[in-house]
Amino acid sequence: MNRHAQSAVMFLLGATLLHAGSTDLYLRYVKAGLRPLLLLSGAVLIAAAVATLWYERRAGHTEHHHEPRISWLLALPVLALVLVAPPALGSYSAMRTGTALQQAYGYDDLPAEGPLRLGVADYAGRAVYDHGRSLKNREIKVTGFVALDRAGHPYLVRMALNCCAADAQPVKVALTGTIPPVLRPDAWLEVTGTYTPQRMEDPVNNGPIPYLKVTSSRPVTAPADPYDETWNK
């Protein structure tokens, strides 16, 4: 590619990053906290593209190189980022990867009254490492997507991020109690239930998976941010 073509690709990439960062599209790729860096990167690329064109025109460069047209294929991944948003990682990845549950440095105090709305990682961490002390005799609501193991046993899962979707790992909660008769993998559920000390080992990595005793459940739409960032706080 000549300088003009390089500038065009840089401008296109920068505009794509700005588009992704200004909408919820970026949440399919990186954690929410990286949004400012994504927007900054897009702005820098656009500025670099404009500066390159300005320099070329001021220097009066008129040389034309005949590069292979196939080099324009480098722009295809950029276009794909805009035109084809990939789905968030789901049950297929979750059941082939061991649970990534980690012990937190501490747990925030919970409301004294009313149902507890917890993330999958928050519930799992309190159930395993805090031995359910803050969960006993409380109504608990947890939202996640459904995953089924080979035997058909259901789990509520949320993929957790350190940085981006490439390092996403699942945190799993096994379900018992009043399970819906039909469960579709990757469907999102809000589950209402109670803490139970029952737990199991993940067959993939022997990590701890707590149970939640379900009393009721209802389907919900997938959240704008499908990933769970509470696991490594």
The percent helix, strand, coil of the chain (3-state, each to 5) is 40, 25, 40
Neighbouring CB atoms inside 10 A of 164's CB total 14
Name the average pLDDT for the chain. Answer: 81
More confident residue, 183 or 35: 183
Task: Domains for the chain: give ranges and CATH numbers.
Answer: 3-86 (no CATH), 92-232 (2.40.50.140)
CA–CA dist 118, 110 (Å, integer): 10
Does residue 160 carry a pLDDT above 60?
yes
Does residue 233 carry a pLDDT above 50?
no
CA–CA dist 226, 233 (Å, integer): 17
C-beta separation of 141 from 115 below 8 A? yes
CA–CA dist 184, 232 (Å, integer): 29
Mean pLDDT of 3-26: 71
- pLDDT score recorded for residue 232: 47
Q: Where are the alpha helices (DSSP H) in the chain?
A: 3-22, 35-59, 76-83, 91-94, 120-129
Does residue 63 carry a pLDDT above 60?
no
In tens, the pLDDT along 76-133 reads 666 666 666 666 678 888 899 899 898 888 888 899 888 999 999 999 999 999 999 9
Angle CA 72–82–187, to nearest 5 = 135
Does residue 181 carry a pLDDT above 80?
yes
More confident residue, 73 or 193: 193
More confident residue, 134 or 226: 134
DSSP states of 94-151: HTTS-------S--PPPPSSS-EEE-HHHHHHHHHHSTTTTTTT--EEEEEEEEE-TT
**What is the DSSP pairing of strand 188-201 with strand 140-148?**
antiparallel
pLDDT class of 68 with cuts at 50, 70, 90: low
Mean pLDDT of 59-74: 57
